[in-house]
Amino acid sequence: GFDDLHACADPGAPEHGYKTPSAGVFFESVVVRFHCQEGYRLNGTSKKLCVRHFNGSLSWKPSDKPVCLQEVTDCLVPHVEDAEIHNKTYRTGDKLIISCHEGFQIRYPDLDNMVSICQDDGTWDNLPICQGCLRPLVLPHSYINISEFESSLPVGTVVYYQCFPGYKLEGAEFLECMYNLIWSDSPPRCLDVEVCPLPPMVSHGDYICHPRPCERYNHGTVVEFYCDPGYTLTNDYKYITCQYGEWFPSYQVYCVKTEQTWPNTQETLLTTWKIVAFTATSVLLVLLLVILARMFQTKFKTHFLPRGNQEGSVGDPDFVVVDGVPVMLPSYDEAVSSSLNALAPGYSATTDQG
């Protein structure tokens, strides 16, 4: 009738509340507002509008009815993960009494206000959390012994890493949640079994890869070490090769200053010099003895052997041995005749005249 076509019906007022305007005819486009008495709060829409539909009828928008609820003066018991609540009352102004489970530490959003208080609206301000170590990162091809639903772990928790078949672990196998809520090490990686880890680092030196560049150390990759200027390798062999996920040979490479020698090398050089000096001395001594013996033999044959021959037989020819070769000596008469012939011609003529 008249109400549906020309005015909206009275929307009524909520219990423990009232509306404005409180009475009258509610024509099209009229707005009604709802309020609650003291000690109550409105739950729902606070106003309605009288609108006309396509069929010409009028009604309120929105259509739901608001209610007035008694104001809550107590806070609800807060839910804090990994914590125990010890409050006996939860009235406005009460402080939250909370303790974290073992291994977890309490953290407040406002670090300057380490307390949570029940507010007039029934909520807790600065509500804390009980925090442990955050779930560690799990890199590809690896898994850990912790459920994926555990996001925070208590202090002392040990996480064990493993690789899927066909992969090899590089890094720390175990990670422990420390007291400062930080893990003891970085998460490890799982590498293909034919990929080697990073080559050993060299102080005062570096390395190059064959083939270049050093991006992935596949099976068969050769690493060549070299030293900075002024340094030399302690080992003549400067190459290592990646073989099925491991470096071969597996020795540590060192670079030392050029003027320095490695202790083992110094001892070897000293021993070598001793041997060389001893050998050279021995050879020189033997040569000296041989020379002396040869000289003695030559002198002996020169001074003693000819005299014996002269005393033994006057008619036998005399000779001396020079360097092992016998040399014939002239007889007495031949020696005298040769001496006279060697005199000056004047001396010879004077003798004849006399």
At 174, list the tokens. 């175990």
Can you list the domains of the chain with their CATH numbers? 2-70 (2.10.70.10), 73-131 (2.10.70.10), 138-192 (2.10.70.10), 205-257 (2.10.70), 304-354 (no CATH)
Whether the pTM exceeds 0.85: the reply is no
**Per-residue pLDDT, 349:** 43
Q: Are 77 and 85 in contact (CB under 8 A)?
A: yes
**Full DSSP string of 127-167:** --EEE-EEPPP--TTEEESS-TT--EE-TT-EEEEEE-TTE
pLDDT of 322 reads 55
Q: What's the confidence (pLDDT) of residue 328? A: 63
DSSP, res 75 = P
- Written as one letter, the residue type at 78 is P
**Phi, psi of 184, rounded to the nearest 5 degrees:** -70, -20
State the pLDDT at residue 354: 46
CA pair distance 180, 107, nearest whole angstrom: 12
Q: What is the pLDDT of residue 344?
A: 45
Q: Which two tokens stand for residue 199?
A: 């080559």
Q: What is the DSSP code (8-state) at residue 323?
A: T
Q: How far is CA 8 from CA 15, 20, 54, 65, 66, in A?
A: 21, 15, 15, 15, 17
pLDDT at 41: 86
pLDDT along the chain (354 residues), means of 10: 72 94 90 92 92 89 90 84 92 92 94 89 90 93 90 94 87 95 94 83 90 81 92 86 85 83 60 80 85 77 54 49 58 56 48 46
